[in-house]
Structure 1
Amino acid sequence: MRGSQYIKVIDIGSFPGGIHPAQHKGESNTTPIATLPLPDRLWLPLSMHMGAAAEPNVQIGQHVLKGDLIAAAAGRVSANIHAPTSGTIGAIEAHAFAHDSGFSQPAIALDSDGLEQWRPQQAWSDWRSKGTEAVIERIRAGGVTGLGGAGFPTDVKYRNSQAQIHTLLINAAECEPYITADDRLMREQAEDILRGAQICQWLVGAKTILIGIEDNKPEAMAALKAAAEQLQLAIELAVVPTKYPSGGEKQLIQLVLGVEVPHAGLPSDLGIVCQNVGTLAQVYRTVVFDEPLIARVTTVTGAAVAQPGNYQVLIGTPIEELLQHAGVQMAKADRVIMGGPMMGFAVPDLQAPVVKATNCLLVPTKKELPPALPDNPCIRCGLCEQSCPVSLLPQQMLWAAKNRQLDAAQLHSLDACIECGACAYVCPSRIPLVQYFRYAKGEIRQENEATRNAERARIRFENRQNRLEREQAEKEAKRQLRAATAAKALAAKTGAEGQAGSETNELIAATLERVAAKKPLVGAPPASLSLEELAAAAQASQAKFASAAARLAEAEVNAPDMVNALQRATGKLEEKYLSTEAAYQTARAAADTQP
């Protein structure tokens, strides 16, 4: 181990595979970071980070200040979006988006007023006194995401890493050719980076701050060492050889710590949190100065660029404006690539904006990066296997992907592929291996989503069936309760037993008295009916009356608004029943007295 009082230079290990493409760093890393002029209109996509898209909380025509929240994070894995300048919301609609699919995305248009007026800010000079939860929430409120290319919300990484973390690994490798944004940032803002590292170290409880940096960045290393001495901050420095993709998170961990992260695992499982230098500088500005993520450093380079360099760019700046400022000669340009030549993609529309993950815009000529030639059949040379940093078998995954044998592709750990492009770079047959792997991954995602949808549909169906059965059982229970209540009411009303029978006899006797007094009977049967017909009429009247009494009892429980009408109808049926019964009893008595 070598170093000074605060800096310890440690030995490193290695990772399998890797390649050594031409670096092309010197074209853009020799000049300081330049600031781009304020654009007239900014376009801010709602989905420029990993996770759920943000939801707008502004209206068209609304005036906002620089740093105002204009779209709120939706869900646990999402990120806030803020106004990069002051101005007026001009539109909320679909707009061109930098993605190889070419699809547009919902976005917010902000028309600048040229004033650059900030919202009120609350600086935290003593951020430790606020507590870890408040600091993490401030990072979330600031919309901070990883600036190394992935765009993962930073607060989520901190929340998931608050137990048994021993090492904060600062990823300063920047291994992809052409890209120098992190290099210039380390040279010019090394102290901000290390202050952000102090915050992160405190949040996750790490004992060690370890910086992994490629040996092609001596000026950046010197700046970091000087900043550590100035801050009296103990760091460990691991200088790794220039080899692609040493800046991959898992590859860098294997290089500098000698441990391998399982492809289905996370660095935090091994007690490690990994952060990009740009992310740490932003964490410092957000926590201490209350500055949300509204700008980033972007490399603009390539043989078609007259003024290659690094630019401080507001999020939402149209790519075309940035290229014009850098002096891009579109007549010489073959295409515009977002990212580097290994993992980047061609931008389909230059009206698409710079987003939080835009670390580089590469504008090569056709001679510099020739278009891909037609591929030839695989010759089984094994070079792709030798170059793979994850120790996969790309040729086997290729056969599975080409034949859509998705199960076989998964058996060969397709999901562990980091899509670095090393295999395609060395392939003598010029096979676009990464494109095949991306296709297979997409097909697997679609199949998995279809399976999940089918499972969700099955669960919904079963839940519906269970609900219907439960509702039917509840209805049957209520029906039985109503029937029992009606039966009790009928027994009490009609005198089915005990005292009720004597009350009925008294009513019949009263009716007979009215007959004797020659009072008219309501609904009385004709006198010409035989005894048998009178008995049948009395029985039918009794049944109708009993049915009406049951309906009345049920209404008293479930339909109070029907009680009055049913009482009147039941009364009439009761009187008819008593009249018929009286006629039957009279006829029967007369028949009994005959010799």
Structure 2
Amino acid sequence: MEIGVLPDPALLYLPLATYQGDMDVVVDAGQSVTMYQLVAASSGTFAATIHAPVSGEVLGVTEIAAERYLTIKNDFCYTEKALTVPDTAAWTSEDFLQYLLYAGIEGSGGARFPTHLKYRVAPSTIKTFIINGAECEPYLSADYILMKTAGAKLMAVLQIIQRMLMPDEIVLAIEQQHKELAVPLAQMAKQFGLDIALKILPNTYPQGGELQLIKSVTGIEIAKGSIPAHHGMIVSNVGTLWAMAGAFLEGKPYTERIITVSGNRSRTLGNYRVKIGTPLGHILRETQHEWNQQAQTVILGGPMMGRAAVSPLQPIHKGVGGLLLLENADPQQMNCIACGYCVDACPQHLMPLEFVRHNQEEDLHQLKAFHLEDCIACGACAYVCPSDVPLMYHIQVGKEKLRQERSDTSV
């Protein structure tokens, strides 16, 4: 299995939304930009940056599916901004964090949490640094192929992390289905002078979530909303480490990632290197598919935690690890029968059936009382529901209402 490379699109749409808020565009419409040039940034606690994946012309900001994007017209010249490989050996802790921000590194597993903020800890305060290789959602294999083909780059990054954070131990967590990677990765770690423990996990879902993975690896259960670093732990996704490798070893900001193209409607299965901002319609065409909402649902991400796309212009962002084509189901939605299956399936010990009722009643107080914000949106509740109640819809809408309430309150 190799990583394929797709032709780049004529237009790229760079997401301006961040983990919290939006970035400000720092280039003008009509301006020419070089590859790797900074084009948007935000400041504050959750500061973020994004860079041009290609050279070309800035066309301005456009809205796609209620989100803002900076549009760049590709000139296919690939004129690069001069890159400088950082001298990581001379870094202080602050140099390390500032470079993570400069390079636009953020969580690649879906959450898009700024890596510079996650790693802002005092050296030697982290007991366990966990590499999340538990790619537990069906169809996805981008992290697997990175562990299989880019092990040396991952180890080089871990050397730097070891020096900067000084954790007591580094643990690589992979699932039983990928256990053949254990020996070669352990051997490679030794070549880089790293003492990495390997944790083989059962093939269960949703243990790829940060808190679930911490419990699987350490046996410690951390409450939702707690900061793992305060408990002496940091979890980083394999895809995030790969993005850091491009920055640390080559001086390249985070402008491309590996995604899986798959699904039960997909004719071309595989993993591909694509530019951030590549519209999914372009990827569909280049992999011999089409945009057909009548026959299929296109998911950005995994089948459980991903989001259904509503426009072929929606692009790949830094947290998208998959593009799935799934045959449209015809669920016969019925009323909730209070069977409690969703409660049993919830890894956060929540009551998803209550989210539906109180979202329909617009009762934000009760949504908070039933801890909607502790939901990790894993989709396990919807998967087991015998009545096909649209649990994830109500969870997403309810969370958006709570976010809007916070925003209104802060104004």
Same fold (TM over 0.5): yes
- Structure 2 partner of 1:342: 304
Matched, 1:431 2:389: yes
Q: Which residue of 1 aligns with 2:343?
A: 385
Q: What SS is found at the alignment partner of 2:216? A: helix
Offset of residue 95 of structure 1: 3.4
1:46 alignment partner AA: L
- Code of the aligned partner of 1:288: L
1:414 and 1:441 in contact (8 A); partners too: yes
Deviations 1:502-527 (A, max 9, x none): xxxxxxxxxxxxxxxxxxxxxxxxxx
Equivalent residue for 1:285? 246
User: Structure 1 residues 193, 401: CA separation in 2 closer, same or farther (over 3 Å shift)?
Assistant: same
Q: CA deviation at 1:164?
A: 1.6
Q: Of 121, 131, 149, which aligns to 1:188? A: 149
Post-superposition CA distance 1:45-88 (Å, at most 9, x none): 222x3123222222233222211112233333131111112223
Paired residues of 1:171 and 1:247 also in contact (CA < 8 A):
yes
- Match 2:66 to one of 103, 106, 111: 103
Q: Distance in 1 between matches of 2:181 and 2:49?
A: 31
Residue number in structure 2 paired with 1:132? 93
Residue 72 and residue 448 in structure 1: after superposition, are their counterparts in 2 closer, same or farther (change >3 A)?
closer
**TM-score, normalising length: structure 1:** 0.65
Once the two structures are TM-superposed, the CA of residue 452 in structure 1 deviates from its matched residue by 4.0
The match for 2:404 is: 446
Q: CA deviation at 1:135?
A: 2.0
* 1:43 corresponds to 2:13: yes
- Match runs of 1:64-75 below 5 Å: 64-75=33-44
1:233 to 163, 175, 194: 194
C-alpha contact (below 8 Å) 1:161/1:268 kept by paired residues = no
Q: Separation in 1 of the partners of 2:312 and 2:256?
A: 19
Closer/same/farther in 2, CA of residues 242 and 381 from structure 1, 3 Å limit: same
Whole-angstrom distance in 1 between the partners of 2:175 and 2:115: 24
Query: Residues 273 and 449 from structure 1, CA distance in 2 versus in 1: closer, same or farther, beyond 3 angstroms?
Result: same
CA distance in 1 between counterparts of 2:385 and 2:8 reads 44
The count of residues paired between Structure 1 and Structure 2 equals 410
Distance 2:106 2:316 in 1: 14
Which one is further off, 59-68 or 145-154?
59-68
Normalized against structure 2, the TM-score is what?
0.93
- Highest relative contact order (Cα 8 Å, sep 6+), 1 or 2? 2
Residue 447 of structure 1 deviates from its aligned partner by 3.6
1:248 maps to 2:209: yes
Among 260, 264, 283, the residue aligned to 1:299: 260
- Tell whether the 8 Å contact from 2:291 to 2:312 is kept in structure 1 after alignment: no
The residue type equivalent to 1:218 in the other structure is K
| Structure 2: segments with no counterpart, 5+ residues | none
Q: Does 1:410 align with 2:410?
A: no
Residue of structure 2 in register with 1:76 after alignment: 45
Offset at 1:179?
A: 1.0
Matches of 2:265 and 2:342, distance apart in 1: 31
Which range is displaced more, 395-404 or 65-74?
Answer: 395-404
Counterpart AA for 1:142: A
- Equivalent position of 1:217 in the other structure: 178
Partner of 1:60: 29
Identify which of 55, 77, 92 aligns with 2:60: 92
8 Å Cα contact 1:146-1:276 kept in structure 2 = yes
Change over 3 Å in CA distance of 1:448–1:45 after alignment to 2: closer
Letter in 2 for 1:117: T
Deviation at 1:397, TM superposition (A): 4.2
- Alpha-carbon distance in structure 2 between the residues aligned to 1:116 and 1:402: 50
Instruction: Give the AA of the match of 1:95.
Output: E
Maintained 8 Å contact 1:71/1:81 = yes
Give the letter for the 2:29 counterpart: I
Runs ≥4 residues deviating over 6 A: none
Equivalent pairs: percent with the same residue? 34
Q: Matched residue of 1:76: which SS?
A: coil
Does the CA-based 8 Å contact 1:304-1:329 persist in structure 2?
no
Q: 1:318 to 1:446 in 2, by over 3 A?
A: closer
Question: Could you tell me how far 1:246 is from its partner in structure 2?
Answer: 0.8
Q: Which residue of 1 aligns with 2:130?
A: 169
Which of these two proteins has the greater Rg computed from alpha carbons? 1
Find 1:421's aligned residue among 365, 379, 404.
Answer: 379
Q: In 1, Cα distance between the equivalents of 2:117 and 2:332?
A: 42
Matched, 1:372 2:331: yes
Confirm or deny: 8 A CA contact 2:343 2:351 kept in the other structure. yes
Q: Higher strand fraction: Structure 1 or Structure 2? A: 2
| Aligned pairs (5 A) from 1:488-507 | none
Q: Is the 8 A contact 1:192 1:281 kept in 2?
A: yes
Q: Is the 8 A contact 2:101 2:115 kept in 1?
A: yes
Amino acid at match of 2:179: P
Task: List alignment gaps of at least 5 residues for structure 1.
Answer: 1-30, 97-101, 454-595
